[in-house]
Structure 1
Amino acid sequence: MHLTPTSRTHRRSLLGAAAAAAAALCATLLPGTQAQAADNPYERGPAPTVASIEASRGPYSVSDTSVSSLAVTGFGGGTIYYPTSTADGTFGAVAISPGFTAYESSIAWLGPRLASQGFVVFTIDTNSIYDQPGSRGDQLLAALDYLTQRSSVRGRIDSTRLGVMGHSMGGGGTLEAAKERPSLQAAIPLTGWNTDKTWPELRTPTMVIGADGDTVASVSSHSEPFYQSLPASLDKAYLELNNANHFTPNSSNTTIAKYSISWLKRFIDNDTRYEQFLCPLPRPSLTIEEYRGNCPHTS
């Protein structure tokens, strides 16, 4: 067959396109290629370092908006903290409950600290300061529903990537919320209190944080049984703070923040860049009495 100059050019173009497609396929399949490490679509922010997760503020500027209890149902209102910029698209979200007889102000420090790392964070008040863990769990879920469906920042949130945290009875409520809604991506009870000590039904990756000097919800009767009862197959961790007490989570705390950030990033955002801070397991230190967990994580 005789090829004209035009047909030869066309053929070279087709061969070039085929070669490029083959090279792209190889880059996808061959180990060690850049394409194999394709960006996780949920990653937010720069690659983390110890300094970045210990910092009082992360890479995102944060705005906040107050939510009146009169404007919501199912919980007591609160404050939403969120990354100011929309350049990175949507973010995962976390609702946080205070403890028995406490108000939103007791856990407010977590709002801007977590939001500045790339989350929408809702620190809430409860319907009553005396609400028990079951009620607080329902209120955490009501707060997430408001956040994703009605709030002024709902367009900034990926409603499939949600988590819960809480202090004391709010920590017990965190476990209740995860039990009721297994689609949650992360749960972190902080010196949690609950009369229910066993949680084999949980399917949400859970980091239990206790305090060695807790005399209100001692680790031996609360945090440790919570952790030990979680399914062996579940991504889970137990962090016992050293030289700490029941109310340590009510003040800015670098150890709580760095491991909470790492857990939320790892499981809400599926960001394996944070795995390095969780596995291998952190060793005892001036701030860590004990750390247990299963590594490597599977989710």
Structure 2
Amino acid sequence: MSKSRSRIVKGLLAATVATAGLCTALVPGAQAADNPYERGPAPSNSSIEASRGSYAVSQTSVSSLGVSGFGGGTIYYPTSTSDGTFGAVAISPGFTAYQSSIAWLGPRLASQGFVVFTIDTNTTVDQPDSRGRQLLAALDYLTKTSSVRTRIDTSRLGVMGHSMGGGGTLEAAKSRTSLKAAIPLTGWNLDTTWPEVRTPTLIFGADGDTIAPVATHSEPFYQSLPSTLDKAYVELRGATHFTPNSSNTTIAKYSISWLKRFIDNDSRYEQFLCPLPAASLTIAESRGNCPHTS
């Protein structure tokens, strides 16, 4: 083969390799995920219903003596730092209750890739507005002072709470519109209208709740949220006001999906939220606006 022809062949081969490389770079999945906040493997029904996710979890206690604005608590967090930072969630217990009443959510959510802070309130009789302020104080401590602050993405925070803690969750979301997710669990609040909330909100009610009946609490909460807001309502079947105080697969499944979808902006979890969950042995009804826009 002549030298000139050899140069032409080599040039064509180089161009072909370069083009193939460019095509590979443009193919979805051939490079890192577009969403930098994606954490953990692709989800399935079994993975979000499991008692633990893919992350090993560590925990640390926070004394009430070393904080201000709330009553201390327990931080649960993924042990590994190889995936970078995580979103964070503060969770409040209800009237007369302690963090032990919502402790099951700590490792369950953390093992899915979140830093979770189950808190005690200043007193067990604090009202929802106070609990809302305490949730925000807990998030501030978590992101600015805590021993795990470097593991947290301060722009991706959420709140949860049971009963008056659920009412406090709405108060916190109303006060701090930068929050990415809010989840009241059989929430109680004398204020039933929340048009100011700008945080994607998932409300759990219980069909057998006689303390915060859905007709006077969870349903009006949901209905009063802006129609343009990403929002959902799940009414638990055969449940009471205190159902969120023990391990519950339905609560965990949809809470994980909501937090992943809106704190992590992980669209892989949209499939569990839209279409809306169908009525079943554990769900009396569900409402929401699909598909989600955030």
TM-score, normalised by the number of residues in structure 1 = 0.91
Deviations 1:17-73 (A, max 9, x none): 863675367x26xxxx44599442111111111111111111111110000000000
Match of 1:115 in 2: 110
Residue 87 of structure 1 deviates from its aligned partner by 1.2
**Tell me, what secondary structure is at the counterpart of 2:268?**
helix
Residue of structure 2 aligned with 1:79, choices 68, 74, 78: 74
**Tell me, what secondary structure is at the counterpart of 1:19?**
helix
**CA distance, structure 1, for counterparts of residue 30 and residue 18 of structure 2:** 18
Runs of 4+ in 1 over 2 A off after TM superposition: 7-25, 33-39
**CA distance, structure 2, for counterparts of residue 81 and residue 217 of structure 1:** 29
Output aligned runs, 1:132-281, within 5 Å: 132-281=127-276
Match of 1:296 in 2: 291
Deviations 1:242-292 (A, max 9, x none): 000101101111111111011001110011111111111111001000111
**Tell me, what secondary structure is at the counterpart of 1:146?**
helix
Deviations 1:202-255 (A, max 9, x none): 110000000000000000000000000111111100000000010110111111
Residue 162 of structure 1 deviates from its aligned partner by 0.5
Output aligned runs, 1:8-157, within 5 Å: 15=15, 19=19, 23=23, 27=26, 33-34=28-29, 38-157=33-152
**Tell me, what secondary structure is at the counterpart of 1:81?**
strand
Deviations 1:171-203 (A, max 9, x none): 000000001111100000000011111111111
Deviations 1:107-162 (A, max 9, x none): 11100111111110000000011111111000000000000000000111111111
**CA distance, structure 2, for counterparts of residue 148 and residue 204 of structure 1:** 19
Identity among equivalent positions (%) equals 77
TM-score, normalised by the number of residues in structure 2 = 0.93
Query: Structure 2: any 5+ residue segments left out of the alignment?
Result: none
**CA distance, structure 2, for counterparts of residue 238 and residue 263 of structure 1:** 11
**Tell me, what secondary structure is at the counterpart of 1:243?**
coil
CA RMSD of superposed structures (Å): 2.2
**CA distance, structure 1, for counterparts of residue 277 and residue 59 of structure 2:** 33
**CA distance, structure 1, for counterparts of residue 46 and residue 166 of structure 2:** 27
**CA distance, structure 1, for counterparts of residue 289 and residue 24 of structure 2:** 36
Q: How many residues align?
A: 292
Task: In structure 2, give the amino acid aligned to 1:129.
Answer: T
**CA distance, structure 2, for counterparts of residue 209 and residue 41 of structure 1:** 29
> CA 1:136 to 1:49, structure 2 compared with 1: closer, same or farther past 3 Å?
same
**Tell me, what secondary structure is at the counterpart of 2:161?**
strand
**CA distance, structure 2, for counterparts of residue 66 and residue 210 of structure 1:** 30
Task: In structure 1, give the amino acid aligned to 2:152.
Answer: I
